[in-house]
Structure 1
């Protein structure tokens, strides 16, 4: 890789941190007064969306969304959102996609340690320490409480951003257990391209451009029980894996 190209990528990465020095206090900070009561969460959620959409725009990303038969999600329903996970930009994409469905993310507890952002993150989302069993059990309870208060939930079933060499990591069961227990439909998304355009590692790779996203049909859990959890998990894993492979074939074809 040429030195000029590496220099551009490093400057572009630095730009990401620079704009968030401004965007986090602006959008996330403005949401703070609305985070203390559930009935105002939809206002806080709007500010979170502005933060996410501003990031995508200023970093030079735009997405093309493909839906199966143009399925429209019911804005009066709750959903469990799942997706493959390869970058922090996945969070911003989900915020942008789910405009009419205020949701909370289940994410790493480590992010709560960040100055200022950590406070907003902690108030807005559910934090999990996967090394702590009691934390995982408490998170499961918190998710149910959020659902009971009318919010949708987003979980990345890979359990975090996997090593870049892993195409799609094994799914954990939490998202599927919650969906079955609460009888909430699952909406799987497949996000392509961001793994190469804004990878978590190495930081000398990436660049702005188009992100392809597939919104799959929502999957009903109305007639499922917890004994169907593994079947549901495998179904969603295969669905996303197949679509990622399809996106990859399309990219290779277009590059040739």
Structure 2
């Protein structure tokens, strides 16, 4: 039985990879073309093609997405802050986030063949290795906010494999929100870890993917002195909501 299950998993993973690459090759030429229209207009058009990919790929591989808004969405730009438990997170964002938006992404990934070409045209690249790189990343984020483009940031800074609901948050997203007076919209990826825990296709599993948009957190009138309080408020809000949507066996074991 175990051998049969491994064979079925391998066939499923191969199928998912073929569909993934097939759609990417299909949308690559128009993505290259529309990217010539600039960072804002061109980038927005790139996301419409990526959204087409996401709307086809997720149901094709048996991953069924449910999006829930706890309070109505608004049209003004905001900073989406999402928990980060899976390499599926960024792909799912293309399907569920209101357009236009840009995720923050590691500049190194833009060097991957084929994927890197699409990636570099659809993210705000972040280079944390140098002072010059960090400064340029901040300028790029400010540019997008001022052109009515929302940002998606993972405040944990890395994939959470701890078994805890959330890792500690970095302060950068909260500083940016206050500096630009842009509201924060916390987002929960509830099931992504169960769908793809590690970065290899043999770990992919079909099933539900719930995405929950929590109430918006205003930052009007806040100053940099409020960053620690705002960070604590948003993290507590996301932590409590995550615990209400899914269980954490590691935490339950600690209480026994």
Out of 51, 62, 65, which is 1:63 matched to? Answer: 65
What is the alpha-carbon distance in structure 2 between the residues aligned to residue 204 and residue 22 of structure 1? 18
Cross-structure match for 2:32: 32
Match for 1:196 among 181, 194, 197? 194
SS at match of 1:124: coil
Cα offset, 1:80, TM superposition = 0.5
Q: Matches of 1:4 and 1:164 in 2, distance apart? A: 31
Structure 2 residue ranges without an equivalent (≥5): 250-256
Aligned position for 2:95:
96
Q: CA deviation at 1:78?
A: 0.4
- Which residue does the alignment assign to 1:254? none
1:50-86 Cα offsets, whole Å, 9 max, x none, are 1222221222111222322xx22223x1011111012
SS state at 1:65 partner:
strand
TM-score by length of structure 1 reads 0.86
What corresponds to 1:107 in structure 2?
105
Give the Cα–Cα distance (whole angstroms) in 2 for the partners of residues 178 and 45 of structure 1. Answer: 23
Match of 1:53 among 55, 65, 78: 55
Counterparts of 2:27 and 2:81 in 1: how far apart (Å)?
Answer: 25
The answer to whether the Cα contact below 8 Å between 1:104 and 1:152 also exists between their aligned partners in 2 is yes
Q: Any residues of structure 2 matched to 1:103-182 within 5 Å, and which?
A: 103-163=101-161, 165-182=163-180
Any unmatched runs of 5+ in structure 1? 252-256
CA RMSD of superposed structures (Å): 2.3
Q: How has the CA–CA distance of structure 1 residues 166 and 136 changed in structure 2, closer, same or farther, with 3 Å as cutoff?
A: farther
Aligned residues: 247
Is the CA contact (8 Å cut-off) linking 1:104 and 1:154 kept in structure 2? yes
Query: For 1:80 and 1:123, how far apart are their aligned partners in 2?
Result: 19
Q: Distance in 2 between matches of 1:28 and 1:175?
A: 31
The alignment's TM-score, normalised by the length of structure 2, stands at 0.86
Stretch deviating more after TM superposition (167-176 or 182-191)? 167-176
Query: Residues 222-241 of structure 1 correspond to what in structure 2 (within 5 A)?
Result: 222-241=220-239
Change (3 A) 1:78 1:72: same
Q: Which moves more between the two structures, 197-206 or 185-194?
A: 197-206
Counterpart in 1 of 2:16?
16
